[in-house]
Amino acid sequence: MIKAAGAVLWREADGDVEIALVHRRRYDDWSLPKGKLDRGETIPACAVREVEEETGFSCVLGRHLRQVSYSVRGTAKTVDYFAAEAVSGTFTVNDEVDELRWLPLAEAPALLTYEPDREVLAEFARLPADLSLVLLVRHAKAGKRSEWDGDDDLRPLSDAGWRQAAALRSLLPLWSPTRVHSAPRVRCVDTVRGVAEDLSVELVEEPRLSEEGYWPDPEAGLVRLLEVATEEGRAVVSSQGGVIPSMVQTLAEMGGLRLDEIPCKKGSTWLLAFTRPFGTWSTSDSPSRWPALVSAYYVASALPRP
């Protein structure tokens, strides 16, 4: 299996959205920037690196768009595409790309050579480019509850858990979060503490998003997550395996989003994208006015590919 990643690279221009398409000299085609994973690299990190190598632009990832599958000389290949906003840079001719064009979103499909690229672009165009994002993280490994004699709230990360937390410290900034929230348990806080330190922001504790805070009143916990989603900037939220599947399932049902399964490994992340509510939103509003979950992508591990 060949794994690759890429992005729909976009920017705002005079109130419109423009898309970057690249011409590859070797194939004489127009495509979306993409490339194969390097050893020791995650899929999101590959998407960011390939965008910069092919286009010269640094980018911030947005929602996951779709995975494309095809065969290359008898070997299966998958390419995961994300939305990605260009934040800085300039194009120069390189070994793979000899031309880049910024085109209005409506004009870009006509230039693309391959139908799967047009399908990816159609998925990008289906929703606004700039959505509210929450990176919902299950805490990293913390050993077995049965082997810890102290207060379970104080159970610390294991050595493997600290490695997962370090990997999250590299992975989560690809989406440029500006806020970090966590259930109060030590293992939840320590999983994302490094991210907060790197951002120089205060870590906000969220009692409603712990197992003991969520289950007495799941609706209140869900509302609190939606409040976090609507605040300025993107958020990292660290919670527990007894909470995350319920929240993701309920949000998906409310948003009309079909999820066949909701895995939740320790150290994993759900990338949740929400529509922005119109006008001023209040938790007293009808649920139909609440932010709607429109995309959910599961990152099973922040640890790089061996």
Q: What is the pLDDT of residues 49-98, one digit of tens each?
A: 999 999 999 999 999 999 999 988 889 999 999 999 999 999 999 999 99
Q: What is the pLDDT of residues 247-306, one digit of tens each?
A: 999 999 998 999 999 999 999 999 999 997 766 666 677 776 788 999 999 999 999 866
Q: What beta strand segments (E) does 90-165 contain?
A: 97-104, 132-138
3-state secondary structure at position 221: helix
The whole-number pLDDT of residue 75 equals 94
Domains for the chain: give ranges and CATH numbers.
Answer: 2-125 (3.90.79.10), 132-299 (3.40.50.1240)
How far from each other are the two terminal CA atoms of the chain, in whole angstroms?
A: 14
If we measure between CA atoms, which residue out of 224, 177, 227, 223 comes closest to residue 203? 177
This prediction has a pTM of 0.94
Select the highest-mean-pLDDT range: 166-180, 219-233, 275-289.
166-180
Q: Identify the weakest region by mean pLDDT among 39-48, 66-75, 172-181, 244-253.
A: 66-75
Contact 85, 10 (CB under 8 A): yes
The whole-number pLDDT of residue 276 equals 76
